[in-house]
Amino acid sequence: MSLCGVGKRDYCVGDYVMYAGNGICRINDIRRERFSGLEERLYYVMSSVYDSGAKFYLPVGMEDIERRIRPLLSEGEIWAIIDETEDIGSRWIENDDSRMAAFEQILRGGEIVEILWLVKILNLHKIEMRESGRKFRSCDEKVLAHAERVITEEFAFVLGLRRENVIPRIVDYITERREARNDEGRGVGAYRADTVCHGLQRAERQGQDRPL
């Protein structure tokens, strides 16, 4: 019997995937199951990497379900994504309801570029609130914790880092990129790198209470 599914991406036993809302999972088996009230069909049997008690059965070949899982990023893709976020603006949405709706849509979508952008703008806004003597809203804190968990889990797993070392490693990378750009002559790209880097560095120094 084949150890791979026949879905859109043809995942195999032993593959690690990102399961939206549940983090990194390992596909332990692909087998036919019959659950109460449902016809027998083929399922991916998955377990969470960071939550040993979590087990999931995902039907193979159901596009709306399989859209919720994707292959893990490669190391090269991670650095490319960090570069890409430098070109995304940081406009803050003032209305709480509109902001939460936009943030929740990003988290549900699972696009890693957008989630990393979310981490960036929330950290920068958190610093701005602290420096102006205002309180960072609890709803934003919850979104930040969720977004950082998604980023740090996958980045740590792929890069072979401890989760608490992910943000410092990103800072180092952006610093290296900034210095390289400075050597070539300062431009718009370097300014954007500075903005992200300084925000993350200050968040790292000031935000020891931030969950990683």
The answer on pLDDT for 104 being more than 80 is yes
Question: What is the rounded distance in angstroms from the CA atom of residue 156 to the CA atom of residue 134?
Answer: 32
CA 132, 136, 140, 142 torsion: positive or negative? positive
CB 94 within 8 A of CB 140: no
Which tokens go with 66? 């399989």
Q: Averaged over 137-164, what is the pLDDT?
A: 93
Confidence at residue 172, expressed as pLDDT on a 0 to 100 scale: 84
Q: Band the pLDDT of 6: cuts 50, 70, 90.
A: low
The answer on pLDDT for 212 being more than 60 is no
Which tokens go with 142? 């919850």
Q: Where are the domains of the chain?
A: 16-71, 75-206
